[in-house]
Amino acid sequence: MAEAVQARSSSKAPSKIRGAIVRFAGDSGDGMQITGSQFTSTAAMLGNDLATFPDFPAEIRAPAGTLYGVSGFQINFSSDDVFTPGDRPDVLVAMNPAALKTNLAALKPGGLLVANSGAFSAGNLKKAGYAENPLDGDSMSAYQLLSIDISKATLLAVAESGLSTKEANRCKNFWTLGLMYWLYNRPLEPTLRWLDQKFKKTPDVLAANAAALKAGHAYGETAEISHERYDVPPAVHEKGTYRNISGNQATAWGLVAASQLSGTGLVLGSYPITPASDILHELSRHKNFGVTTLQVEDEIAAACTAIGASYAGKIGVTTTSGPGMALKMEAIGLAVSTELPLVVINIQRAGPSTGMPTKTEQADLFQALYGRNGESPVCVIAAATPGDCFYMAIEAVRLATKYMTPVILLSDGYLGNGAEPWKIPDVSSLPKIEVKHRTEVEGFHPFVRDPETLARAWAVPGTPGLEHRIGGIEKSFDSGHISYSPENHQKMSETRAAKIAGIANDIPELGIEEGEASGKLLVLGWGSTYGSIREAVRRSRARGLSVSQAHLRYLNPMPKNFVELLSRFDKVLIPEMNMGQLVKIVRGEHLIPAESYAKIEGMPFTVDEIEQRISQLVEA
Amino acid sequence: MAEAVQARSSSKAPSKIRGAIVRFAGDSGDGMQITGSQFTSTAAMLGNDLATFPDFPAEIRAPAGTLYGVSGFQINFSSDDVFTPGDRPDVLVAMNPAALKTNLAALKPGGLLVANSGAFSAGNLKKAGYAENPLDGDSMSAYQLLSIDISKATLLAVAESGLSTKEANRCKNFWTLGLMYWLYNRPLEPTLRWLDQKFKKTPDVLAANAAALKAGHAYGETAEISHERYDVPPAVHEKGTYRNISGNQATAWGLVAASQLSGTGLVLGSYPITPASDILHELSRHKNFGVTTLQVEDEIAAACTAIGASYAGKIGVTTTSGPGMALKMEAIGLAVSTELPLVVINIQRAGPSTGMPTKTEQADLFQALYGRNGESPVCVIAAATPGDCFYMAIEAVRLATKYMTPVILLSDGYLGNGAEPWKIPDVSSLPKIEVKHRTEVEGFHPFVRDPETLARAWAVPGTPGLEHRIGGIEKSFDSGHISYSPENHQKMSETRAAKIAGIANDIPELGIEEGEASGKLLVLGWGSTYGSIREAVRRSRARGLSVSQAHLRYLNPMPKNFVELLSRFDKVLIPEMNMGQLVKIVRGEHLIPAESYAKIEGMPFTVDEIEQRISQLVEA
Amino acid sequence: MSNVVPTRNLTRADFSSDQDIRWCPGCGDYAILATVQRTMPELGVLPENMVWVSGIGCSSRFPYYMNTYGFHTIHGRAPGIATGIKVANPDLTVWMVTGDGDGLSIGGNHLMHCLRRNVDINILLFNNRIYGLTKGQYSPTSETGKITKSTPMGSTDNPLDPVVFALGCNASFVARSIDVEAKHLGQMITRAANHRGGTFTEIYQNCNVFNDEAFEAFRAKDVKDERQIHLEHGKPLLFGADKRKGLRLDPKTFKLSVVTLGENGMTESDILVHDETNQTLAYMLARMPFPQFPVALGVFYAVEGETYNARTEQQVNFSVDKQGKGDLTKLLNSGETWTV
Amino acid sequence: MSNVVPTRNLTRADFSSDQDIRWCPGCGDYAILATVQRTMPELGVLPENMVWVSGIGCSSRFPYYMNTYGFHTIHGRAPGIATGIKVANPDLTVWMVTGDGDGLSIGGNHLMHCLRRNVDINILLFNNRIYGLTKGQYSPTSETGKITKSTPMGSTDNPLDPVVFALGCNASFVARSIDVEAKHLGQMITRAANHRGGTFTEIYQNCNVFNDEAFEAFRAKDVKDERQIHLEHGKPLLFGADKRKGLRLDPKTFKLSVVTLGENGMTESDILVHDETNQTLAYMLARMPFPQFPVALGVFYAVEGETYNARTEQQVNFSVDKQGKGDLTKLLNSGETWTV
Ligand SMILES: Cc1ncc(C[n+]2csc(CCOP(=O)(O)OP(=O)(O)O)c2C)c(N)n1
Ligand SMILES: Cc1ncc(C[n+]2csc(CCOP(=O)(O)OP(=O)(O)O)c2C)c(N)n1
Ligand code: SF4
Ligand code: SF4
Ligand SMILES: [Mg+2]
Ligand SMILES: [Mg+2]
């Protein structure tokens, strides 16, 4: 038998550690996402810094026990700053053989493996492709194995609830959560409170889940485990009130906030698509903010309803993911040509084509910048963390309405579904967004421009005296009427480009996130790679390497000091979850010989990967 | 009165000149396109080299006499090599005041202006915005004015035809053509033959047009013109049989040829759009080549029917222009992911959005390369001249079927509608295209690859034993089944990229079109700028400047010797009818500091413009 | 339909823009424009509260000539843009112009969804059975075998009837008229304007350049009485110069026939009575084959119902009533939070 | 339908692929798959000559489980791809699977054109009145007021009936069945397969995860006799356990009613007789409101006509006959040329 943890009484005080990485893995039906998010809530409330990574199967409800039906949730919680969900877990909870099979390789050598031996039936072993039960024999000897029949223990614990065996069995995730709470010395109350709320209407289920939670905790407490317990003290956080927030929720709330801050109603036109649908779902719950959400027939209609709403004076927004983005391009071109504000949000996923809808990627940057016919410049920005989505959504609205232009906000599946503790901002500290609808008749034509921003007038239907016609045909700079004049087309093309380029004067300069303002190596990122890069740069610096981090939130236009900042470093490394897109732009526009670190596995970078690449470059 | 050409008898022998540029301009209803193309046919048959530029109004039949209703046709014909329709005409024919107004600025100082004074009525003058008749007074004194009441002369000439005045008036373009034939000492027979064919069924119209043609000629001959006559001797052409061909016709014929050369049926899925519709029109006339043309409901369906046809083993082709291209992107991504051959032809027009449908532009290069979600590499090629469209269409089919990939062929409105004399190739000299449909069951899976080309097997429905399923979700490299594995996604992404990159081994190296193989300046072009660049480089070289020309027909992948070739020049200039797209790619992929010459006026570069830029760079 | 009451007297000039009209001389679009501009002043909507939206095509140039707000969008997508406008500001009166290509070829799906949702916009589809702007290819309403530039051997598609299609999409108002029948067309436009909810009106429009006389077989003066039947709610379905022909339904075979009053004992009581509220009747009338049957013109179907935009607006209002006006601070602090 | 004659005995196993089926346990898609796999061997088409094409959605995973050729394409675009396949090789038998979202939301236009063109492909639309794959948003067939993730206050759209829509698109064969009614479904699939021309079959399919029991009101054992009416050509439209209820049309009002034989003097001669060739009847039957009327199942309409693919093929053949097989040299030298 493997070097299993012996069952004996243990009443030692927990030892203090900085943090830990725990991964819950089980069947889609095992409730791992709930377990993970409860563990997360409790950790957050205890003041840990943390980051999470949910990893769903593509299937809605894959058949039980299959490899592709495994659902995972990883959390990295700590008393230090946390920037990523962590590379390899310290603890792996495997609720069945398939979960073990697909996740074991990630577990740190010597890490703790909690396995629900009750699910290691012959049938499940076969489905997972195990010829023999891996919990028997020596194959787990590289880990600390804690093999418990959680299924049975759960049934025992909830016996009195009156639930059917099937229902009772569903409580085993709470049993497991209880055990994990014991291991990390966490209180049960937050989860008990949550259960109270959630199962108000089904008291028997409520009672059973609570009993399971307590039993799992008691199992560790009273009985029988030789394993150490740990304490992860709170992190030093800035003062304030915090909450957990996922990227998609933050995006939705950012849009609500922008609507409030601008005093302008918001109309979302959307068509469901993984992993963007949750923004539609979330926004549709906040109609009392004057938000209208339309689920329409496809992505083209979604973009078009948003454009129609913008034309009518509202904030038109459309949300989607890669394939849907491809479909919106013609309509976005219309918004470019008619110079209407439009916020387009792309929660990127792995491509090409349908690709891997539940996996993350950053490969739609080129598409955002260049995916339309003709010279069709738009503003492109990207969020760096789940919480950052809130601010970047506000920024998207601010820029779109101020410059009368489409703004594409790039997020991705990792940001959208991932969550982090987030300091709730004071509403009064948020930027005001000044929306001007023209009413002055004197001197009006639809393409009369603000000389500073180059934005055209936003004259909305219903305004007497400003009746006008717009369309996608080229327009005269001087009157807004249709024009086929060669010189005018040149002038209008240049004006559209200059308008977008001018946004550089209205955005923050690129700062250094970590490290000195000059040195051997700058690691430049954009989007969801923020956390991995940050942590890797920190660790490298701790090892004495001369490396700094900068992170682009504005991809078009880029911050004014971009070239200057990059030129202060000997080398620039650009890690991207694609085949190297930003890097081409940096080279093409600025002739800076940046190096690409491209990874396209549908998964975020691990900190390790980036750290190694840094070492190679700095130590070379 | 202006320095008008005096009417007097003139029987001088024509003087020999190298060539001339003539522009016919009139109302949409004046038949200028027919006049121009007849003049072109005759010049071609006389052995002149030539190039033409038709310039239509956007309206179908704009109201008579309006500025936006003016239709133009320019021809540059010569005993030397001709590469462009010419910058400024030597002769301008203006059939009405609007035509004069919109075209006069182009006429060379001292050039000949033939004006139909009969159309300079008060009404027409007003529509054209003339307060006074410009044919009176001094305003035309910079030109040689030949003011003739062509309307009246025509009515007179066709009086016996029995046509109504309205119909009779329609013959005035042939009267004008007759006069031009006289001026350039050309025979009437080719046009008379053409009239015979064209109006077989309406002998009265035939007779009237012929009479008008002869009368115009006689007017010059017998009567009353002081102007010199010219002779433009034949150009020295390679031996062979020639014809005139427009880019769209050449493209259609190239597709027919490719189908024949590969012994594989061709299915075109298309949706009409200016300026691409003519390819559909032309192909639909050649069903006896086993060509099927489907005009379907939109561009998406067009791409999809083509993909379906490819899946079923035929050559799937789809043709469109910019906005339609935007709509096809998601479907092209499917062809990338399923690795099916697909030929996509984009006859670019001025954008963004609807833009200027009848005007030309090269601004869809980025879209072709980057317009899809995810990493979605395709092969992109571009034709340089109308005749070149024939060869590049064949090449598109060859690469698509050999590499099992979408190939995007870029042309533009200028190439598509423009015509040039074209040496008819010997069919046996055309490349064979070997199409392999797999039948071998042993070792088959749908993504089994040719180790050399990396192309997957083309196994078509109807083949026993090769039943398989494909789709847009990521597939296992080893089995073709759906796979969400991270390593597999990396491997497949790299394989798709490597397959396209590998095409570089199968295409010609980049050659020098004009000039030495190294020097001060290389002017690098792509697409329809070929002619203007060629001529500009020639002229600059004639002035002793060290400048050469290279022209990219393969944009992705680029020829293997690309970087090496560019590095042999001190400077590289890239003229493009956009805001600088190729130049960014050259810089981004290769870190070569090429200079951009971007012009976005919906019009081709003039030779002058490029020549000046060359001077600036070389003489600087 | 909007509820804004006009505050000034309106004339045709108020609805005519200063732009040159760029259709071919003789195009049926001119007649439609004239009727629209003549009818608008009577509808009681100020130009500034009116938006004309279109896609791409000759017909879709329409908005440029109306002195109202106008949006010439992209090919086939006008219904989406019009929906966005109406939802964003339900006080606006939104009209949409489309063609048989714009609305039924590339844009068929958006049109369908717009109709089924009953978005309160008035849609005019100019059906010339051809793609005009792209110079003459067959359209989804062209007859099978149509010879055009893209179909030199004739088209291979079965055509679609826009009225049948609209009925299949659950449109709440479906009518048909003809470009040159100014009076009838004016009536249809007025009916559409006054209908509370989305409306769909097909207008047969002659493209004299690429599909001339497409409708002459029943549009021409000398035949129209015998070849058109005008639908009027509650009235028997009679036609002919002297109104002696009529439509009769065989209740057993469920088949329609043309009968003549006085012949074979037929009296008016044998004749079907038009009922705008009966979708099946509308469907049958729209499906009558020509020339065995006359072409039906008028309102096929009209039943008012709740609109998409009204329901959408109600949800916002209801939600404010129930949850109170949104409070951002409250939202951000909702659910579990902790304070450091 | 293809004309290829099978050369070997086929069984269900010949049509079952080795792929794990990835639908939720209990999903109605399983039942449909089983019926299809059981029915296919009887149709006389070899697996290698059969292609299953689909879009995106749970239902669209169908091709993976058929041991034939299969193409899981992109969302809503299967009709275009299927058309391309059929035109490119008319000998293939092409089936298409789509969902209420795939086929009627994003793909409504392609579906419409595919039906009106009468492309010879067999379309099965699995209608679960929900978007399954994206985890439960309302679809174009969801009832108004449907509460889903994206419509917490209820949807604001009027739903579309797929059969009504298909009739509006001139489909040449329109039928409806239910996932769990294996026998009836098998019959419909066989009818569709044997119909020369394009076919459209709606299949009510239960999504037990996101829209469970959507059809229970007429699918459940205890009510189905009273709440379903099975259409059979030439037979009176009777239903109920003892077939004593029937549909009657009032020829004056043109309205349908449910009557009971023996009551109010009703006899079988008062009852409408189903006629598959009557589009108007089909339309009326498809429009019957539930539960006032039973839900109609079976073949609503079936009239064979020329197919798009046949016409397209004919043009190629005819053109070869007339002009001779294309000669490239001749083409290149056609029109005006000159020799140097
Ligand atoms: C995306 C896109 N595809 C194609 C076109 C080309 N196009 C413009 S109008 C048109 C058809 C117009 O037909 P219809 O709607 O009947 O209008 P009509 O000109 O007959 O009034 C087409 C195919 C386009 N502008 N955009
Ligand atoms: C272009 C695009 N837009 C959106 C999606 C997301 N998506 C996948 S399936 C689907 C709806 C599926 O509904 P339905 O066709 O009814 O299939 P079901 O899952 O219910 O069987 C959506 C919106 C996508 N894959 N591609
Ligand atoms: S092409 Fe036809 S529809 Fe278009 S403007 Fe001319 S006549 Fe009218
Ligand atoms: S989500 Fe619904 S439709 Fe999809 S597989 Fe599950 S039960 Fe079936
Ligand atoms: Mg039309
Ligand atoms: Mg569904």
In chain A, residues with a C-beta closer than 8 Å to the C-beta of B369 are 366, 370
Spatial distance between the Cα atoms of C20 and C23, rounded to a whole number of angstroms: 9
Count of Cβ atoms closer than 10 Å to residue C255 Cβ: 14
Position A286, amino acid:
H
Please tell me if residue D241 touches chain B, with a CB cutoff of 8 Å: no
The whole-angstrom distance between C66's CA and the closest CA on chain B is 19
Closest residue by CA, ligand 1 atom 10: C57
- Cα of B25 vs centre of ligand 3, distance in Å, is 22
Which ligand is nearest the CA of C129, by number? 5
Contact A295, A273 (CB under 8 A): no
Residues 6+ apart with CB under 8 A from A620: none
- Cα of D97 vs centre of ligand 2, distance in Å, is 13
Contact A566, A524 (CB under 8 A): yes
pLDDT, mean of residues C126-149? 97
Subunit contact D254:C280, Cβ cutoff 8 A: yes
Kindly tell me the burial class for residue A378, based on how many C-beta atoms sit within 10 Å of its own C-beta (0-12, 13-18, 19 or more).
Answer: buried
Spatial distance between the Cα atoms of A3 and C301, rounded to a whole number of angstroms: 80
In chain B, residues with a C-beta closer than 8 Å to the C-beta of A323 are 330, 333, 373
The whole-angstrom distance between B463's CA and the closest CA on chain A is 27
pLDDT, mean of residues A457-463? 98
Which ligand is nearest the CA of B271, by number? 1
pLDDT at residue C3, as a whole number: 45
Subunit contact B308:D81, Cβ cutoff 8 A: yes
What residue ranges in B443-581 does DSSP mark as E strands? 469-471, 512-514, 519-526, 547-552, 554-556, 569-576
Structure token pair of residue B285: 């006339």
pLDDT at A246 over 90: yes
pLDDT at residue A2, as a whole number: 37
Ligand 6 ion: Cβ-proximal residues, 5 Å cutoff: D 99-101, 128
CA distances to D79, D174, D192, D249, D292 from D299, in Å: 21, 6, 9, 19, 21
> What's the farthest any 2 CA atoms get from each other in chain A?
89
The whole-angstrom distance between B337's CA and the closest CA on chain C is 25
In chain C, residues with a C-beta closer than 8 Å to the C-beta of D255 are 278
pLDDT band at C253 (very low <50, low <70, confident <90, very high): confident
Best of C60, C125, C210, C212 for a ligand 3 pocket test (most atoms within 8 Å of beta carbon)? C210
The DSSP output letter for A352 is: S
Please tell me if residue D164 touches chain C, with a CB cutoff of 8 Å: yes
Structure token pair of residue A452: 């500073």
Spatial distance between the Cα atoms of A462 and A480, rounded to a whole number of angstroms: 19
Average pLDDT, whole number, for chain C? Answer: 95
Subunit contact D71:B304, Cβ cutoff 8 A: no
The whole-angstrom distance between A129's CA and the closest CA on chain D is 14
The model's pLDDT over A90-106, given as tens digits with 9 standing for 90+, comes to 999 999 999 999 999 99
In chain A, residues with a C-beta closer than 8 Å to the C-beta of C47 are 467
Subunit contact C80:A296, Cβ cutoff 8 A: yes
Return the closest-CA partner of residue B552 out of B378, B394, B362: B362
Scan residues 106-135 of C and list those with Cβ closer than 8 Å to B. Answer: 106, 108, 131-135
Spatial distance between the Cα atoms of A510 and A550, rounded to a whole number of angstroms: 7
Which atom belonging to ligand 2 lies closest to the Cα atom of A357? 25
- Cα of D60 vs centre of ligand 6, distance in Å, is 10
pLDDT at residue C309, as a whole number: 98
pLDDT at residue C154, as a whole number: 97
pLDDT at residue C2, as a whole number: 44
pLDDT at residue B4, as a whole number: 41
pLDDT at A6 over 90: no
- Cα of D57 vs centre of ligand 2, distance in Å, is 4
In chain D, residues with a C-beta closer than 8 Å to the C-beta of A59 are 22-24
The whole-angstrom distance between D169's CA and the closest CA on chain C is 6
pLDDT at residue C1, as a whole number: 41
Weakly modelled stretches of chain B, pLDDT under 50: 1-10
Count of Cβ atoms closer than 10 Å to residue A429 Cβ: 6
Percent of chain A at pLDDT > 70 equals 97
Mean pLDDT of residues grouped by 10 in chain D (340 residues)? Answer: 60 94 94 98 96 98 98 98 98 98 98 98 98 97 97 96 96 98 98 98 97 96 96 97 94 88 94 95 96 98 98 96 96 91
The DSSP output letter for C136 is: S
Structure token pair of residue B290: 């086993």
In chain D, residues with a C-beta closer than 8 Å to the C-beta of B253 are 331-332
The DSSP output letter for B297 is: S
The whole-angstrom distance between B295's CA and the closest CA on chain A is 21
Spatial distance between the Cα atoms of D178 and B272, rounded to a whole number of angstroms: 41
What residue ranges in A321-462 does DSSP mark as E strands? 342-348, 379-382, 406-412, 419-423
pLDDT at residue C12, as a whole number: 95
Interface with B, mutate which of C150, C207, C210 (most B CBs under 10 A): C150
Closest residue by CA, ligand 1 atom 1: B324
pLDDT at residue B224, as a whole number: 62
Spatial distance between the Cα atoms of C336 and A40, rounded to a whole number of angstroms: 11
Contact C88, C119 (CB under 8 A): no
pLDDT at residue B89, as a whole number: 96
Ligand 5 ion: Cβ-proximal residues, 5 Å cutoff: C 99-101, 128
Among chain B residues, CA nearest to D81 = B308
Closest residue by CA, ligand 4 atom 6: D24
pLDDT at residue B5, as a whole number: 45
Subunit contact B372:A361, Cβ cutoff 8 A: no
Strands A49-55 and A266-270: unpaired
Kindly tell me the burial class for residue D241, based on how many C-beta atoms sit within 10 Å of its own C-beta (0-12, 13-18, 19 or more).
Answer: exposed
Q: What share of residues in chain C are helix, strand, coil (percent, to 5)?
A: 35, 20, 40
pLDDT at residue A223, as a whole number: 67
The model's pLDDT over A284-341, given as tens digits with 9 standing for 90+, comes to 999 999 999 999 999 999 999 999 999 999 999 999 999 999 999 999 999 999 999 9
The DSSP output letter for D102 is: I
Subunit contact C56:B354, Cβ cutoff 8 A: yes
| DSSP three-state, residue A603 | coil
| DSSP three-state, residue D47 | helix
So what's the ipTM on this one?
0.95
Subunit contact C25:B64, Cβ cutoff 8 A: yes
Best of D72, D110, D133 for a ligand 2 pocket test (most atoms within 8 Å of beta carbon)? D133
Kindly tell me the burial class for residue A122, based on how many C-beta atoms sit within 10 Å of its own C-beta (0-12, 13-18, 19 or more).
Answer: exposed
- Cα of C149 vs centre of ligand 1, distance in Å, is 15
In the sheet where B266-270 sits, what is the strand order? B291-295, B266-270, B315-320, B342-348, B406-412, B379-382, B554-556
- Cα of A269 vs centre of ligand 2, distance in Å, is 16
pLDDT at residue A588, as a whole number: 80
Scan residues 32-51 of C and list those with Cβ closer than 8 Å to B. Answer: none
Return the closest-CA partner of residue A324 out of A273, A377, A281, A376: A273
Among chain A residues, CA nearest to B471 = A354
The model's pLDDT over C11-26, given as tens digits with 9 standing for 90+, comes to 999 999 999 898 998 9
pLDDT at A107 over 90: yes
Of residues B242, B260, B473, nearest to D328 (C-beta): B260
Count of Cβ atoms closer than 10 Å to residue D260 Cβ: 11
- Cα of B60 vs centre of ligand 5, distance in Å, is 13
Subunit contact B467:D48, Cβ cutoff 8 A: yes
